[in-house]
Amino acid sequence: MARDGKTSRPGSTVAVEEGAPLFCPSAQPGMRDPVVIGVVEQDGAQDRRIAYLEQAIPYDEKVAALSGAVDPGKVMRIAARCEETRCAHFDGSRCSLVSRIRDLLPEAAVKAPPCAIRSACRWFAEQGAAACLRCERITTSVGPEQVRADSRIRQAATPPPL
């Protein structure tokens, strides 16, 4: 534990206080404590992949301006505090989104990519490396071209009925 009372696990640059809330790795910019953890790269005609940053960058007005008129979720991977019961994907104790991602989408990597938030990531906390192996293919804002290319993305992104 660091002198400031926060911990950081190997492979993570987000310091987490013991018992602190977990971070959602597929967050919207308006959520609490947003950070950029990667940028979206085009990999082929319709395939996107996340290029992870070595360190998370706080998402602020200056960073927001970098996306211009484009939805930030289409060009940046943003993480923020998990909103738990305020999120349509939270089932009261777990994230149903990462469960659907694990069940519906194939692995995109052979080993977990470097991640600036792994020690505080809800997906990793709940699903371990199975989430990490699919994470680089997940973009927060899913465009129609991605849905046409793979209907499993739409299925995974659709919250369960209330």
The answer to whether residue 149 scores a pLDDT higher than 80 is no
pLDDT confidence bin for 140, thresholds 50/70/90: confident
**pLDDT given at position 46:** 59
Global pTM value = 0.81
**pLDDT given at position 158:** 75
Number of other residues whose CB lies within 10 A of the CB of residue 90: 18
User: How do the domains of the chain map onto residue ranges?
Assistant: 6-157
Alpha helices in the chain (DSSP H): 61-65, 72-75, 96-104, 122-127, 129-135, 144-149, 151-157
The answer to whether residue 109 scores a pLDDT higher than 50 is yes
- The answer to whether 28 and 35 have CB atoms below 8 angstroms apart is no
pLDDT, mean of residues 108-120? 93
